[in-house]
Amino acid sequence: ARGGTTAFLGTTVSADRSRLKNALQIAAQYRRRRDPAGAKMLGVHLEGPYLNPEKKGAHDPDKLKLPDLGELQGLLAGTGDLVRMVTLAPEMPGSFELIAFLARSGVKAALGHSAAGNDILVGARAAGLSHGTHMFNAMGEFRHREPGTVGYLLQMPEITADVIADGVHVHPAAINMLVTLKGMDKVALITDAIRAAGLPDGCYELGGREVYVRAGEARLADGTLAGSTLTMNRAVGYMVRAVGATMEQAVQMASLNPARVLGIDDLYGRLETGFMASITVLDRDFGVIAIFVEGEKVI
């Protein structure tokens, strides 16, 4: 909450089944007891392990695996609405089955860590794929003779996308292009923050791997970006100052648009009667003045 967030999805990295199951149990307990001084956990985003090894990013390659419908069904069994999103690579064998299952189950099926081409994306969309995770990062690059994953997503208006607006992951011109081509209503801001967010530079852990934070940038020993230390108030500020968005546009991309992605925009994302009173108050420099979570002042 100190970083301007009132609600969030706790996100896992690729791990074996037992660790993911344990993470879901801990997340369920946390969501039930609710931190009175923090943001509300709306649910969990499973990022992996069904990703393309060629686009693994900071995920441990030894933890990646081929899509397994039975395993995913087992992970989600008995969790209710805890898991709200699953990111996978639709080009991996068996992915379409998982996408269709997620869509039937009311879970957002998202593309990420993928090199999928047009034919795959068209099929994945038909199966129920509807979102792109951290746009541009760990995706098949755009080329003029082969648009790649990025190019195809940019021209598929029915698929929403999120982006890390921190000045490290994506150039501001690329973010501006994303918003221009997709439409402002289809783009959500995310932080992709790891546990080091809000803490000093140093060595931290992500999925069993050491992450080094220097000058606020989180990287593996080989220099690979490993999440971020971004906070949402800074993301909004970056959109206004570096990308050229209006304050109203940046706020919408940090509030209403994410709620739309998750299908909860009937309760979250607006300051209107009947909506949750989850409010972030910022000063002119985008510093956090106050935070209200569902009507309760936590900062």
Q: What residues are annotated to the active site?
A: 192
Instruction: Determine the Cα angle at 51 with ends 50 and 56, to 5°.
Output: 145
Residues pairing with 163 in the sheet: 189
CA–CA separation, 117 and 131 (whole Å): 15
Contact 64, 90 (CB under 8 A): no
CA–CA separation, 205 and 64 (whole Å): 18
Q: Which of 117, 123, 113 minimizes the C-alpha distance to 59? A: 113
CA–CA separation, 270 and 293 (whole Å): 13
Token pair recorded at residue 226:
């490993």
Torsion, Cα of 10, 13, 14, 19 (10° steps): -60
Neighbours of 93 (CB within 10 A): 8
H/E stretch holding 51: none
CA–CA separation, 231 and 1 (whole Å): 9
